Amino acid sequence: MEYEGLTQDDLVNVRALNRRWLRLQQGAANDAARLPDERLERLAAAPFLLFSFREQDENLWRAMLERGGQQDLLTARAAAEFRELQSAGLAFLWELARRNPYVARVVSGAPLSWCERIASVTLVRVLESAASCTVIESRFHSDSSLYRRLLQSGGSALQEIRVFAQISALQAMLTSAAPVPYRRFPAAACGMPQRAEQVADKV
């Protein structure tokens, strides 16, 4: 089976979202931890999202989408800029999950069941559901060696070092997540042509 890979437009959007995430993170960092603009731009060019929407948490997303836009007053709300980025990133992944779930999984590390879940509802439903809580977070733990290596080498001016660090992080992201049981949603199954029944009718 052939899969359509990342397009240039996909990469441009990933880079723009990563750039916004890094700048928000830099705003909260002290002067010593801030990256020079050139290094930040090179790190933002990683071919995957540097932040996560907790795509592996099936229970969280099932509850969120079933609850819809109801507000949870006990849930801490993100700052306005993080909410804006969360909405933009989810809209991007929603569109990708509908157009090319393979690429959505590559750039986010999301399981197929998550891609099908958000693609099965409207964009408004996804954004309203996520508006009641903060799901955006760093993709890697800040104290992990993987994150430190990505931060140190993923923005290197040397292309070979930079690409190696970014691809290593991508590989770790795609292979280290706990497996999520896959179950095709009924709505997706209903769209399948019933070839077996058609053949049986002719026999």
Give how far Cα 41 sits from Cα of 35, 114, 137, 157, Å: 9, 29, 20, 10
Q: For the chain, give the number of residues.
A: 203
Nearest CA to 140 out of 131, 132, 129, 152 is that of: 152
Sign of CA dihedral 102, 13, 15, 108: negative
The span from the CA of 110 to the CA of 97, in Å, is 10
The span from the CA of 138 to the CA of 121, in Å, is 25
pLDDT tens for each residue of 116-138: 999 999 999 999 999 878 899 99
The residues that bridge with 51 in the sheet, in sequence order, are: 138
- Exposed e or buried b per residue across 92-107, where buried means at least 16 C-beta atoms within 10 angstroms of its C-beta: bbbebbeebbbbbbbb
Whole-number pLDDT of residue 72: 47
Whole-number pLDDT of residue 31: 55
Torsion angle (degrees, nearest 10) of CA 95, 56, 114, 18: 0
Tokens representing 201 are 């009718």
Burial of 57 (0-12, 13-18, 19+ CB in 10 A): middle
Counts of helices then strands in the chain (DSSP H, E): 11, 2
What is the full per-residue pLDDT of the chain (203 aa) written as tens digits? Answer: 456 778 899 999 999 999 999 999 887 665 556 788 999 999 999 999 999 999 999 888 998 888 765 554 334 445 788 989 999 999 999 999 999 999 999 999 999 999 999 999 999 999 999 987 889 999 988 888 888 889 889 999 999 999 999 999 999 888 875 544 444 544 443 343 444 444 444 44
Tokens representing 110 are 């999301």
